[in-house]
């Protein structure tokens, strides 16, 4: 499968290293869309890819799927055009915080026969949540996210402090850069109005921890994920980066586990 990437940051470089540099058996990155071609010129020789600055030429290149790995603003500006021509994978899921944009993408996907893939990112357990919700048997979903205090507040915090508690949709409005997990969890489950979020600023931790509690007719489930940062960029979750690679690999398999 030939892949095109939008963006050339930490996630894009991790993908280039693990797919092209390591000569992945079934995956190949052919094209990368950037704003500054001169800045990233070295990637062409290093990984054997073509750099593009024009979205149209990028989409016309030999790619089967486009992976957005830039930021929310870029995702919102280019994703509609991308999905008119290609299947896509969205990393900056904060772009889906607005219902109108989600509805637009759903209509484009339906009209053009496209698929938008949303990797699980920095959490797990979404297969269970989706399976239960598909029969309308999911009663409650709660997310407690604990992050280093400096990532959430400018105040000096002596001990852990809940900086938000309420609906996912409100958490996203107040902490748009810290709620990707809440968005993907709400979309997999009972929605942004019914998913309950607690966000804790903790001065004693240097990592992000997500505690997910699920209740329904099936019983109860809980997941705790303690995220290590990506070595190349401590602002990016290691698990979020490899979830992209895992999703791409499963798309090529004849045997599919879970889901």
Say what the pLDDT of residue 145 is. Answer: 97
C-beta of residue 7 within 8 angstroms of C-beta of residue 31: no
Residue 84 falls inside a structural domain? yes
CATH (domain of 212): 3.30.360.10
Range of the domain at 196: 126-227
- Beta carbons within 8 Å of 25's beta carbon, 6+ residues apart: none
Total number of domains in the chain:
2
Say what the pLDDT of residue 41 is. Answer: 96
> Which of 180, 176, 146 is closest to 163 using CA atoms?
146
Share of residues in the chain with pLDDT > 70 (%): 100
Residue 64 falls inside a structural domain? yes
Note whether 139 and 71 are same-domain residues. Answer: no
Say what the pLDDT of residue 117 is. Answer: 96
- Beta carbons within 8 Å of 148's beta carbon, 6+ residues apart: 201, 202, 203, 205, 206, 207, 208
17: confidence class by pLDDT, cuts 50, 70, 90 = very high
Residue 150 falls inside a structural domain? yes
Residue 226 scores a pLDDT above 90:
yes
- Cα–Cα distance between 139 and 130 in angstroms, integer? 12
Say what the pLDDT of residue 253 is. Answer: 84
- Cα–Cα distance between 34 and 243 in angstroms, integer? 23
Note whether 113 and 136 are same-domain residues. Answer: no
Average pLDDT value for the chain: 94
Please write the tens of the pLDDT for every residue from 18-54. 999 998 989 999 999 999 999 999 999 999 999 999 9
Note whether 72 and 172 are same-domain residues. Answer: no
- Beta carbons within 8 Å of 55's beta carbon, 6+ residues apart: 33, 78, 81, 82
CATH (domain of 246): 3.40.50.720
Token pair listed for 44: 């062409």
49-71 residues labelled b (16+ CB within 10 A) or e (exposed): bbbbeebeebbebebebbbbbbb
Say what the pLDDT of residue 32 is. Answer: 98
Residue 232 falls inside a structural domain? no
Average pLDDT in the 157-168 region?
Answer: 95
The alpha carbon of residue 67 and the mean position of all alpha carbons in its chain are separated, in whole angstroms, by: 10
64: confidence class by pLDDT, cuts 50, 70, 90 = very high
Q: How many CB atoms lie within 10 A of CB 43?
A: 21
Residue 219 scores a pLDDT above 90:
yes
Our answer to whether residue 174 is catalytic in this structure is no
Residue 234 scores a pLDDT above 90:
no
180 assigned ligand-binding residue: yes
C-beta of residue 229 within 8 angstroms of C-beta of residue 237: yes
Catalytic residue among 21, 42, 210, 234: 210
CA dihedral 205, 195, 183, 235 (to 10 degrees): 0
Block residue for tokens 């996912």? 168
Note whether 131 and 94 are same-domain residues. Answer: no
Please write the tens of the pLDDT for every residue from 74-128. 999 999 999 999 999 999 999 998 889 999 999 999 999 999 999 999 999 999 9
122 assigned ligand-binding residue: yes
User: What's the half-sphere exposure (Cβ side, CA atoms, 13 Å) at 131?
Assistant: 9
Say what the pLDDT of residue 259 is. Answer: 64
* Range 49-52 contact pairs with CB under 8 angstroms and sequence separation of 24 or more: 49/16, 49/20
Please write the tens of the pLDDT for every residue from 203-216. 999 999 999 999 99
């Amino acid at each position: 499968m030939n892949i095109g990437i939008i963006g050339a940051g930490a996630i894009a470089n991790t993908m280039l290293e693990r797919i092209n540099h390591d000569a992945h058996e079934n995956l190949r990155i052919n094209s990368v869309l950037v704003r500054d071609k001169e800045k990233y010129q070295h990637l062409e020789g290093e990984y054997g890819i073509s750099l593009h600055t024009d979205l149209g030429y990028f989409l016309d290149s030999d790619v089967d799927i486009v992976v957005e790995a830039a930021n929310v603003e870029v995702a919102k500006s280019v994703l509609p055009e991308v999905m008119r021509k290609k299947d896509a994978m969205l990393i900056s899921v904060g772009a889906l915080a607005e219902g109108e944009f989600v509805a637009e993408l759903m209509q484009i996907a339906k009209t053009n026969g496209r698929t938008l893939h949303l990797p699980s990112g920095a959490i797990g357990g979404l297969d269970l949540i989706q399976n239960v919700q598909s029969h309308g048997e999911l009663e409650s979903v709660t997310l407690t996210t604990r992050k280093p205090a400096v990532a959430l507040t400018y105040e000096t915090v002596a001990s852990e402090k809940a900086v938000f508690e309420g609906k996912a949709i409100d958490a996203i409005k107040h902490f748009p850069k810290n709620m990707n997990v809440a968005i993907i969890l709400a979309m997999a489950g009972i929605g942004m109005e019914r998913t309950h979020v607690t966000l804790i600023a903790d001065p004693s931790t240097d990592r992000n921890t997500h505690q997910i509690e699920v209740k329904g007719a099936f019983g109860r489930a809980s997941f705790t994920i303690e995220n290590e940062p990506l070595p190349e960029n401590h602002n990016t979750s290691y698990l979020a980066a490899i979830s992209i690679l895992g999703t791409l690999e499963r798309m090529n398999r004849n045997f599919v586990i879970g889901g």
